[in-house]
Structure 1
Amino acid sequence: MAENTPSVGDAPEQEPTGMTRRSRARVARPSSRPVTPRNTAVATRPPRADRPKRGVAKPVRSVAILSIVAGLVATVAIPAYAAWQPTAEAKTLQQASAGDAQSMVVASEASAAQLDRSSYSATTSEEIAKKKAAEAAAERARQRAAQSVSLSSVDLSMVSPGSGEVRWPVVGFKKGRGLGDSGYHQGVDLLLACGQPVYAAAAGVVRVSQESFGGYGVAITIDHVINGQRVSTLYGHMTYGSRVVQSGETVAAGQLIGLIGSTGSSTACHTHFEVRINGSVVDPWAWLEQNAG
């Protein structure tokens, strides 16, 4: 009697044993994939063509680093090499001058000249100062010689016209700058030709009589006592050698004391006349107009 073996398809379904899981019998389905035996080794998947190899990255990076280092070395070495110059070969003086030699042709008529030490010019500051001082002294001497007069030709008995206690110091003049005009001017300029007489404005004692009295040049000052006041008069820019009175001498009003000139700080023939009363400067023009007669 044949045994009936129930087929898989005829087997009844089993009821699930739990509330949360259901077991289902899976029916084997035919597969088109080839079956690989379990004992056969699994074939390795071939690498993708677009995936970079790790082994190539390191050499590439090394090459890049070496290129950068080589560039830095070239940057430093090339300028240094360009600045380096080979040592020139030593030459004698004749060899150095041979390429730049010059020649001079001397005419047959030329003759040697003798040098004179007196023609040498000053080279130091001391020599220059001495030379300037000598030139200034020579110029002063020249001016004195040009403006000097011989007193033998002057009438020393001349007196200023008038009879008053105060006289005009010059006669026939033209009034120039006055007190305070054109800067610090302490007197009045009485313009007249050089060589004309200069008189004492009043009786008194000569205090200063010098050939060089600062900017006044040849000048004389006289001290007076007029109306109980101490009065001092000054006469400047007179001619060299024309003074006929000396310090300490007593003079009378209107007495000749010198001749008009243009010495000191002067640019024209005139007499610079000043008046001081009790040591204070006063307007000499106003004083003369008020007192001279």
Structure 2
Amino acid sequence: MKKSEDRTIARRTGGKTGTRSIAKPIRSVAIFGAVGALVAAVALPAYAATKPAEAATTVQQLAAVDAQSLVVASEATAAPLDRGTFTATTPEEIEKKKAEEAAAARAAEAAKAAAATSNFNTAGYALVAPGSGEVRYPLPLGSWNVSRTVGGGHNGADMLAPAGTPIYAAAAGVVRASAESIGGYGVCVMLDSVIGGQRVQTTYGHMIYGSRQVQQGQTVEAGQLIGYVGSTGRSTANHLHFEVWVNGGLVEPMAWLGANAG
């Protein structure tokens, strides 16, 4: 009876019932396959974009390829600009500094040569200035003449004397400066003193190279030998440029000596 019914159904459907039953699973597989391919096509690039960072090439890894050049660049950037002893920043300042250092070097060499060969004119002169007062004359009495004093931009008295004449400290004090070259003063010593409660600064310029007897910071006594007359710096003849400042104000040196020396 079952077989008879199947043949009847087959005749009515033209024998296609079995074919349709097989085709449906095949079509489902194809559809699922197409969907899977579509999902793979969409998902794989997104997955690649979200790969862990450690798998990607980093900037540091790229830099490692050229690590030596990076080190060199770092060293070049960090290395200080070597200017020797110069602190100047413009070509003009550097040239000025070079000229000053060259002048100082020449002065130092001249000082060495002078110290080795000069015979200072000490014959007939005491090595301590005469007198007993708080203020003394900076040159031996009777050994000098004044050729020029304060005025017209000149800040001191020019006391003409033979080369090598002893120069004495006009007052007790501390050496503020002592050098073979101080501007136009040439070989020069400067003293800071306190006299009668007043601050007194005295300057002794144009000494002979190598003749300074005191150094910066040294304490000296009134009348102590500090150097010898010369013609260094801006000078055209042997003389002592003697300068006096009282409480920061310039005074006429010879008048000040006349009123205070003894």
Superposed pair shares fold, TM > 0.5: yes
Quote the residue 2:148 is aligned against: 177
Structure 2 residue aligned with 1:218, among 162, 187, 191? Answer: 187
Match runs of 1:224-235 below 5 Å: 224-235=193-204
Quote the residue 2:155 is aligned against: 186
The answer as to whether partners of 1:233 and 1:276 remain within 8 angstroms in 2 is yes
Structure 1 gaps of 5+ residues are: 1-128
The answer as to whether partners of 1:175 and 1:190 remain within 8 angstroms in 2 is yes
- Cα distance in 1 between the residues matched to 2:102 and 2:127: 38
Kindly report the root-mean-square deviation, in angstroms, between the aligned alpha carbons of the 2 structures.
3.2
The answer as to whether partners of 1:149 and 1:242 remain within 8 angstroms in 2 is no
Q: Which residue identity lines up with residue 285 of structure 1 in the other structure?
A: M
- Cα distance in 2 between the residues matched to 1:239 and 1:198: 11
Quote the residue 1:158 is aligned against: 127
Quote the residue 2:33 is aligned against: none
SS of 2:258 mapped into structure 1: helix
- Offset of residue 152 of structure 1: 8.8
- Offset of residue 163 of structure 1: 1.2
Q: Does residue 167 of structure 1 match 2:136?
A: yes
Quote the residue 2:235 is aligned against: 266
Given the two structures, how large is their TM-score scaled by the length of structure 2?
0.55
Identity %: 57
Quote the residue 2:166 is aligned against: 197
- Offset of residue 158 of structure 1: 1.0
- Cα distance in 2 between the residues matched to 1:154 and 1:252: 22
Structure 2 gaps of 5+ residues are: 1-94
- Offset of residue 153 of structure 1: 7.0
The answer as to whether partners of 1:212 and 1:218 remain within 8 angstroms in 2 is yes
The answer as to whether partners of 2:104 and 2:181 remain within 8 angstroms in 1 is no
- Cα distance in 1 between the residues matched to 2:188 and 2:120: 21
Q: Number of residues paired by the alignment?
A: 164
**Cα gap change, 1:194/1:229 in structure 2, threshold over 3 Å: closer, same or farther?**
same
The answer as to whether partners of 1:204 and 1:251 remain within 8 angstroms in 2 is yes
Q: Does residue 253 of structure 1 match 2:222?
A: yes
Moved over 2 A (4+): 132-157
Q: Deviations over 1:167-225 (max 9, x none)?
A: 00012101110100xx3100000100111100000111111001100110000000111
Quote the residue 1:279 is aligned against: 248
For the pair shown, the structure with the greater C-alpha radius of gyration is: 1
- Cα distance in 1 between the residues matched to 2:108 and 2:215: 22
More helix as a share of residues:
2
- Offset of residue 149 of structure 1: 5.7
Q: Deviations over 1:128-175 (max 9, x none)?
A: x8xx96997897678657754668978798100111110000121011
**Cα gap change, 1:146/1:262 in structure 2, threshold over 3 Å: closer, same or farther?**
farther
Q: Does residue 244 of structure 1 match 2:213?
A: yes
SS of 2:256 mapped into structure 1: helix
